Amino acid sequence: MKNYDKPNSFAILFLACCALLAHASSASVNQQSILVSFKGQVEYRPTPTSEWQRAQTGETLAIGAQLKTQAVSSANILFPDGTQIKLAESSELTIRAAKTNDTKKLSSADLLLSRGKLWGRAKDLSGQLSVSTPTATAAVRGTEWEVDATTPGVGTVTVLSGQVELSNAEGSVLLNKNMLGTAKVNQKPTTSRINNARDRVQWVSHYRPLPALYFDISINTPASDGEADVIDQQICEDAVGVTELNMAANDQLSLETLKSCALHAMTKNKVKIAFDLLQAHKNLAESWLGLQIKADLAALSGDYEKAQNIFDSTRDERNINTAIDAQRAAIDLHFGHLHKVTAYLNSAEFKSSKSPQKYLVAGDYFFLEGEFFNSEAAFHAALDIDMTKIEALIRLAKLNREYGNALKSQALLNVALELEPENYLAKSQNAELQLTNANYGAAISAFQSILLDSPDDLLALNALAEAYLAENRLEEALKSTQKAGLVEPASALSNDLR
């Protein structure tokens, strides 16, 4: 089975779609910049003087349009020529020009990033795209880059491929692949060489929390006790706007209720609600559960350093509960710090940890290292624990599929789907198996069903594109591939073991 998380596979599929589409007489090019998709809370206004409103998927972004993302949110934009922009959390973008003079190219595109950061990719710009920040302007001549204006008075540009000219009133510099440009107020921009630009652009990668495995130190048991699925949703929604100052008047909002609400939000992938709860309630944010959620939110935003700082703040409590080390190792693994994972697997903390997540971490690590039997043994250890049974079944199914044992993979998935028919990961793995077996019609239906609930799933988007391509549905294949590039750019890490 191909690994669709890897940049080379994405590029090959994209080029195949483009090459075949060139022969299709019915091919058409979108003539409007659109908001393809978004996560979390994103606001839009058609002009700088209009009122902000909640964004809608498919929103047309004409000249003067503005987008604003809140915390743990992001937005994906597609321009008429295929240029892709991904706007990070806590960012604000204005489209100052986006004009076309033919059906395939932008004659000019001028974006203003007032704050935050964005990632972009284009096929052939030749200097037609510029991204301005409060400190400088980046004239993009390359194909992949990141612009960062999160620090007041400082703007940076990271070039993953191609060239970018960074300039302000004091001068300009030319940036090539694996170079970082920095512009400060009243100073000429400077350059520096970096080892691997892709390693620095972490916020675009996909990290998957496992809230069912959070551990509550206050009662020395797993935080998930089954109540997360039956919690009163209205109470949780109201809790976002209630602070400690008036909590005493509402006995429904105890710390345990807040924990249940936050846990439910993470379980249902409503991370913005979990973030808002932590912001509104200091006692929740400072609880053991709150720390685990904050670490996962940092990882979801690609802020590895912040996640590590959160873990370091718990150092004095390690002798009480070592379960947090498993979560830290899972984040280390996602961000590619394999030496730290190796150290964890050989540590006393691994042996004494009460979290079954440690077996999943071990299995994932050995999977990456190509050690089938060690990976299988670790997943089998997780299979014997109720909390990780479904995760273990799905991972074992993927492991067997990768090693060519499709029948065993299907049998494992059948067990998982019997236990949890709507389990997203089990459904996704099953859809992949249909694609592997060339059951393209069934694969298309399965992936379309998955994307109804998870429209930004990279694996499903790329796999759906291949299934479309196999059935000669060229335009649908290209659209799916283009969206995959927006959702999870080539800088995404390849060790996301979904």
- Per residue in 413-422, pLDDT tens? 999 999 998 8
Q: Which of 68-82, 330-344, 369-383 has the lowest mean pLDDT?
A: 68-82
pLDDT at 99: 52
- What is the distance in angstroms between the CA of the first residue and the CA of the last residue of the chain? 14
Quick one: average pLDDT of 226-230? 46
Amino acid 233 reads Q
Report the predicted TM-score, pTM, of the whole model to 2 decimal places.
0.69
According to the per-residue pLDDT averaged within each range, which of 26-35, 153-162, 313-322 is highest? Answer: 153-162
What is the C-alpha to C-alpha distance for residues 284 and 102, in angstroms, rounded to an integer?
Answer: 55
Distance CA 227, CA 417 (A): 22
| 3-state SS class at 156 | strand
Average pLDDT over residues 186-203: 77
CA-CA distance, 398 to 415, in Å (whole number)?
14
Q: Identify the residue whose tokens are 């099953």.
A: 430
Instruction: Answer with the residue of higher pLDDT: 205 or 380.
Output: 380
pLDDT level of residue 487 (50, 70, 90 thresholds): low
The full set of domains in the chain, from first to last, is 32-200 (2.60.120.1440), 205-337 (no CATH)
Q: Is the pLDDT of residue 26 over 50?
A: no
| Residue-averaged pLDDT of the chain | 79
The pLDDT score that the predictor gives to residue 270 is 82
For 33-37, what is the mean pLDDT?
83
Q: So what's the pLDDT on residue 460?
A: 79
Residue 300 has pLDDT above 90, yes or no: no
Q: What is the pLDDT of residue 253?
A: 67
Q: How far apart are CA 40 and CA 55, in angstroms?
A: 10
Extended strands (E) in 368-430: none
Compute, in degrees rounded to 10, the torsion defined by CA atoms 270, 262, 90, 4.
-40
Considering the chain, what percentage of its residues have pLDDT values greater than 90? 31
Give the 3-state secondary structure of residue 31. coil
For the segment 407-417, the average pLDDT, to the nearest whole number, is 94
Q: Which of 334, 342, 382 is nearest to 358 (CA)?
A: 382
Q: In terms of DSSP H, where are the helices of 79-202?
A: 197-200
C-alpha angle with apex 56: 201 to 89, nearest 5 degrees? 25
What is the spatial distance between Cα 48 and Cα 318, in angstroms, rounded to a whole number?
Answer: 50
Rounded to whole angstroms, the Cα distance separating 461 from 448 reads: 9
At residue 320, the pLDDT reads 52
